[in-house]
Amino acid sequence: MAEPISRAEVEATARLARILLSEEEIAGFTSQLGSILAYMETLNELDTTDVEPLAHVLPLKNVLRPDEVRPSIGADLAVREAPDATNGFFRVPKVLGEGGGA
């Protein structure tokens, strides 16, 4: 069987997660993630042809709330635990690019 995850895939995943890994960590994660994925492969032995994909583990659906305003906590409390704040704004390192592209 081929390696479940390649070194390049671990590097790409780290880049997407915006984390910096050392050479040793990349090697370590490649082997650790590899054994986890190999273990998960066991599941593929099951025949799931007629099974609906599961979106949620709870047997719940249709949970809604009415569109009624509830009190917010206020700007002072909102920013109080932040590492840095000014005039009710969160103050963060300079964002490069636009952001807000939701």
Nearest approach in angstroms of CB 89 to another protein is 4
The answer to whether 25 touches 54, Cβ cutoff 8 Å, is no
Between residues 2 and 55, which has the closer beta carbon with respect to another protein?
A: 55
Q: How far is the CB of 102 from another protein (least distance, A)?
A: 4
Q: Shortest approach of another protein to residue 24 CB, angstroms? A: 25
Contact 5, 37 (CB under 8 A): yes
Q: Which is nearer to another protein, 1 or 102 (CB)?
A: 102
Q: Which is nearer to another protein, 24 or 100 (CB)?
A: 100
43 versus 64: smaller Cβ distance to another protein: 64
CA neighbor of 75 nearest in space, from 86, 67, 62: 86
How far apart are the C-alpha atoms of 60 and 11, rounded to whole Å? 37
In this structure, what token pair is assigned to residue 52?
């609906």
Residue 4 and residue 33 in contact, taking contact as beta carbons nearer than 8 Å: yes
Site of interaction with another protein (CB under 8 A): 16, 18, 55-58, 60-75, 78-79, 84, 86-95, 97-102
